[in-house]
Chain A
Amino acid sequence: MGILVIAEHDNTSIKSGTLNTVAAAGKLGGDVHLLVAGSGCAAAAQAAAKIVGVAKVLVADAAHFAHGLAENVGDLVAGLAKGYSHVLAPATTYGKNFLPRVAALLDVAQISDIIAIDSADTFVRPIYAGNVFATVQSADTIKVITVRTTAFDPAATEGGAAVVESIGAGADAGKSSFVSQELTKSDRPELAAAKIIVSGGRALGSAEQFKAVIEPLADKIGAAVGASRAAVDAGYAPNDYQVGQTGKIVAPQLYVAVGISGAIQHLAGMKDSKVIVAINKDEEAPIFQVADYGLVGDLFTIVPDLIAELSK
């Protein structure tokens, strides 16, 4: 029995979370098939075929897959799943949206956000905002799984030579339609995949200061910009910058937390970072308990000094 991975893509390229999910699938043993469901997605399918570890790429190309609506993708994947032992998707908003539908249609449990694979039926996943790791075993015939992408190294994007096969697309479920999309424009690296992240909290005080203090530092070190929930709720940064239990889960090489106290909810999203730096004027802030390097002081003088020091 093979393993089916659902690719997240924008019809022309494959999103990075797919690569980590393919790598996780590779640990299960068995042929890995990658489904590319989209509209005009030939370029994404070609890119998918080069990913190391993929044996076959299945392409479902139809107008009703253009925006990845859960009703349509869910039906398609549930139909395909019966031939596989495992069905995996990245635990991004894309994967989290449709995969539980697939599990319910197959009458199996879903195992969400796995961080480790003990065996083909036993997985480790964080619960209670990452404060507890649970090892769970599934007795279902098909294991339906979302993968925490930061927990698995990505598969290489070049070197594979998978067969590409077109499959039937099925009908439009017709219950939902796409209206519009409003994406945050950024030239910086994508938050979930960035090697360095500079994150700002409520202490920045305003959207203007967030921009003026956090962004130059991020640009100096080629980092993505993140934010705490407090900063997002206060309107200092857009929603999709949020790092935490309810936002994005990140694990970069370096995470710089500026003016962030370190609530449980925020730590759940970043405490697997390799090196954590905290800059905060409150010496007692919980962020210092997880920080490798802490600097106590006023961020409005420290951050510019830091940029100057890095420019030397």
Chain B
Amino acid sequence: MKALVAVKRVVDYNVKVRVKADGSDVDIANVKMSMNPFDEIAVEEAVRLKEAGKISEIVVVSMGSGKCEEQIRTAMAMGADRGILVETDIDLQPLAVAKLLKAIVTKEQPQLVILGKQAIDDDSNQTGQMLAALTGMPQGTFASKVELTTEALTVTREIDGGLETVKLQLPAVVTTDLRLNEPRYVKLPNIMAAKKKPLDKTTPADLGVDAAPRLKTLKVAEPPKRSAGIKVGSVAELVAKLKNEAKVI
């Protein structure tokens, strides 16, 4: 069984981004970029399923500038077998990514597609669901546990009140939540080996997909700052402030 994993190159989660002075966009020139943390979990899950003998090949795909090759190589160092880079300068939004992924799914025919539940830059939480809709596949979103057999996939999902388990026909789409697994660190020999693994490059035009953005960003701004608070000296003072000043208890 083949698995397809989608990974996104994003600003590293430790970086506090800044807005450009003209408010047109976020300034990400010269900041550290990494693989989206949820996608690391997606790659890890695919590798574990392969190690368990349930998956025979892992194809990893990323989209965007040529630099996304770094994230594909990282996924290969974690255990993915080969890569596909969809190279474009277009600002790719979730619907476009889902359409591009659909074109790749049609070509590769994976039984399982794993994505992160959301990217930590646009915080959309849409692509996996959109891909599932476009391909007619069922979806297991916010997965914290995945059990794969040859015919079906059982996914435990994190929902607002607790956990929910659903059973999906294959092929299916899974999006990962934080507690699905703990991604492994890549080792140097694996990084070297990943450099030799095959990587295909393609473009939205090659895949026959119109990837033009649908949403226009008019401006970006810093959120309003909270006014500076005070440190109180004692519990009694804290309670008095909450009762008399803030009037919240």
Q: A129-B123, A135-B218, A176-B167 are in contact. Are A239 and B248 (CB under 8 A)?
A: no
Q: Are A239 and B144 in contact (CB under 8 A)?
A: yes
Interface string of B195-206 (1 = CB under 8 A from A): 000000000000
Q: A98-B129, A126-B123, A181-B164 are in contact. Are A233 and B179 (CB under 8 A)?
A: yes
Task: Name which residue of chain B comes closest to A229, CB basis.
Answer: B178
Q: Are B231 and A274 in contact (CB under 8 A)?
A: no
Q: Are B248 and A128 in contact (CB under 8 A)?
A: no
Which of B49-57, B76-84, B232-240 has 4 or more CB atoms under 8 Å from chain A?
A: B232-240
Majority-rule SS of A interface residues: mixed
A294, chain B: closest CB distance, angstroms: 4
A108 and B235 CA atoms in complex are apart in Å by 53
Task: Name which residue of chain B comes closest to A271, CB basis.
Answer: B226
Which of A39-47, A54-62, A156-164, A303-311 has 4 or more CB atoms under 8 Å from chain B?
A: A303-311
**Cβ–Cβ < 8 Å partners of B123 in chain A:** 112-113, 125-129, 245
A277 and B239 CA atoms in complex are apart in Å by 11
B97, chain A: closest CB distance, angstroms: 11
B192 at the interface (CB under 8 A from A): no
Interface size class on chain A is: 35 or more
A239 and B134 CA atoms in complex are apart in Å by 30
Majority-rule SS of B interface residues: mixed
**Cβ–Cβ < 8 Å partners of B129 in chain A:** 70, 96-101, 104
Q: Are A183 and B162 in contact (CB under 8 A)?
A: yes
Q: Which of A113, A293, A296 has the most CB of B within 10 A?
A: A293
Interface string of B223-249 (1 = CB under 8 A from A): 100100111101110110110001011
A312, chain B: closest CB distance, angstroms: 8
Q: Are B242 and A104 in contact (CB under 8 A)?
A: no
Which of B63-71, B104-112, B153-161 has 4 or more CB atoms under 8 Å from chain A?
A: B153-161
**Cβ–Cβ < 8 Å partners of B22 in chain A:** none
**Cβ–Cβ < 8 Å partners of B151 in chain A:** none
Q: A122-B218, A271-B226 are in contact. Are A176 and B169 (CB under 8 A)?
A: yes
List 8 other contacts, CB 8 Å, given A100-B125, A104-B131: A71-B138, A100-B126, A100-B133, A128-B121, A183-B162, A254-B242, A292-B246, A295-B235
A and B contact pairs by CB, cutoff 8 A, 5 listed: A98-B129, A109-B94, A181-B159, A240-B161, A293-B230
Chain B residues proximal to chain A, CB less than 8 Å:
11, 13, 16-17, 19, 26, 93-95, 98, 117-118, 120-134, 136-139, 141-142, 144, 154, 157-169, 177-179, 214-223, 226, 229-232, 234-236, 238-239, 241-242, 246, 248-249
